[in-house]
């Protein structure tokens, strides 16, 4: 009799599915075999590496309230391809059959790395996805490429027909951001400018749904300071446990002040505060992306400045409705690397943080991934690593396992 004992972790099945690569970079054993009276204990690596299924790139993962892993990824030509969705329940050893998110083929973009799809989980564990549409993708709207949105239907068998959320604020470039809460709010943010205008003139916009993605309001300007926005940089959003909406973007004041900016709303997106997280003067677009994660009412942001990854806490348990935002002291990722970019960050149940990033990537060039685990006091632990395997136009994603470990997807 052959058995695999998965009681040590609901996600230990990942270690027997042939997907996981340990922190040493070596492939894990594909199966644990035990005698009749001695069931094996399957131990997933502390930081397990998981290749994107089906040869996809730009994975983006989210866990719902039941511990189900929801994953989207991109396939196709860099300038015109498709977004696919799979899921895996805690006791399953394989992903579901893929569903195409975009109902109109070849209407998504991967080129440039920062225009890919983002996923979030909303009310009743509904899966929401947003992505930059190709030039000419339908449905069209104002100002060129659309911001396309869809959600998984209630039977989890298909995605709703894609919709363009831009009604008037067109002229997008870098990728949009999406976040949702359990009250039915879904937020989508992007930056845009009319054709011919410089980055310093770009504006950040937000559209909001109050019915779990069934309808969206007309978009509005939300950057309260005229910071501009870096055209080829991605945004990131998160709704924390208190319902506060956080949005990260890169500014472009005078076309050289490429500071990392934080917008925060405590009234469901009606009004915002603005703060500068980290200054960076560079007369070029760094084509960067951001990360946000939360644990015990502390939200942590991660970003790139001058080819290094930084992170910091932006809200504490003591924060109250009327309090000003807490701006972090930037903490650099340990060590040195070649052109560190595209951070991901996730807390586990114990308050430990996984921070990961890419290295040596560039235009039409893949690279490697690296990571560092921090203890609940924010101190680097010995658990760190580096591995090859980031494909061209590749990004990372990560989730925390119930056993306190992490899965880093590339």
Nearest C-alpha neighbor of 226 from the set 196, 261, 195, 194: 261
| pLDDT for position 296 | 84
Number of domains forming the structure of the chain: 1
Distance CA 262, CA 32 (A): 46
Three-class SS of residue 20? strand
In a domain, 259, yes or no: yes
Percentage of the chain lying above the pLDDT 70 cut: 87
pLDDT digit string, tens, across residues 183-234: 999 999 999 998 889 999 999 999 999 999 999 999 999 998 999 999 999 9
| pLDDT for position 375 | 97
| pLDDT for position 42 | 58
| Segments forming the whole domain that contains residue 247 | 55-292+313-336
| pLDDT for position 241 | 93
In a domain, 361, yes or no: no
Structure tokens at 161: 């027909």
| pLDDT for position 325 | 62
In a domain, 380, yes or no: no
CA angle 130, 399, 301 (to 5 degrees): 70
In a domain, 3, yes or no: no
pLDDT digit string, tens, across residues 119-169: 999 999 999 999 999 988 999 878 889 999 999 999 999 999 999 999 999
List the CATH number of the domain containing 268.
2.120.10
| pLDDT for position 323 | 57
pLDDT digit string, tens, across residues 357-383: 999 999 999 999 999 999 999 999 999
Q: Considering the chain, what is the average pLDDT of its residues?
A: 89
**Burial call 233-269: b when 16+ CB within 10 Å, e when fewer:** bbbbbbbbeeebbbbbbbbbbeeebbbbbbbbbbebb
Q: Is the per-residue pLDDT at 320 higher than 80?
A: no
**Under 8 Å between Cβ of 398 and 408:** yes
- Which phi and psi (to 5°) does residue 74 adopt? -110, 145
In a domain, 347, yes or no: no
Q: How confident is the model at residue 297 (pLDDT cuts 50, 70, 90)?
A: confident
In a domain, 119, yes or no: yes
In a domain, 406, yes or no: no
In a domain, 137, yes or no: yes
| pLDDT for position 143 | 83
Provide mean pLDDT across the span 238-244: 95
């Amino acid at each position: 009799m052959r058995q695999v004992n998965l009681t040590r972790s609901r996600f230990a099945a990942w270690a027997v599915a042939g997907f996981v690569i340990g922190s040493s970079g070596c492939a894990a054993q594909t199966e644990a075999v035990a005698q009749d009276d001695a069931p094996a204990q399957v131990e997933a690596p502390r930081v397990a590496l998981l290749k994107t299924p089906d040869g996809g790139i730009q994975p983006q993962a989210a866990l719902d309230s039941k511990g189900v892993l929801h994953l989207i990824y991109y396939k196709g030509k860099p300038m015109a391809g498709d977004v696919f969705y799979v899921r895996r329940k805690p006791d399953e050893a394989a992903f579901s059959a893929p569903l195409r998110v975009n109902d109109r083929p070849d209407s998504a973009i991967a080129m440039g790395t920062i225009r890919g799809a983002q996923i979030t989980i909303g009310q009743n564990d509904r899966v929401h996805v947003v992505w930059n549409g190709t030039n000419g993708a339908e449905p069209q709207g104002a100002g060129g490429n659309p911001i396309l949105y869809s959600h998984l239907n209630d039977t989890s068998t298909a995605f709703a027909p894609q919709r363009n959320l831009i009604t008037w604020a067109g002229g997008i470039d870098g990728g949009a951001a999406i976040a949702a809460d359990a009250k039915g709010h879904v937020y989508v943010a992007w930056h845009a400018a009319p054709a011919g205008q410089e980055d310093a003139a770009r504006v950040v916009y937000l559209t909001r749904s109050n019915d779990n993605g069934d309808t969206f309001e007309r978009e509005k300007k939300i950057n309260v300071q005229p910071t501009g926005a870096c055209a080829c940089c991605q945004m990131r959003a998160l709704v924390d446990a208190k319902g506060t909406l956080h949005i990260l973007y890169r500014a472009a004041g005078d076309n050289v002040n490429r500071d990392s900016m934080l917008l925060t709303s405590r009234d469901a997106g009606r009004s915002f505060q603005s703060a500068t997280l980290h200054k960076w003067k560079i007369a070029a677009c760094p084509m960067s992306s951001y990360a946000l994660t939360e644990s015990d009412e502390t939200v942590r942001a991660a970003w790139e400045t001058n080819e290094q990854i930084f992170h910091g806490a932006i809200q504490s348990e003591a924060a109250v409705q009327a309090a000003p935002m807490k701006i972090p002291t930037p903490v650099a990722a340990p060590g040195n690397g070649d052109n560190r970019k595209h951070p991901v960050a996730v807390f586990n149940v114990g308050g430990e943080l996984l921070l990961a990033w890419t290295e040596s990537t560039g235009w039409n060039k893949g690279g490697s991934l690296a990571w560092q685990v921090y203890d609940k006091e924010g101190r680097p632990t010995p658990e760190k690593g580096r591995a090859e395997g980031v494909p061209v136009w590749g990004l990372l994603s990560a989730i925390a396992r119930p056993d306190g470990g992490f899965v880093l997807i590339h």
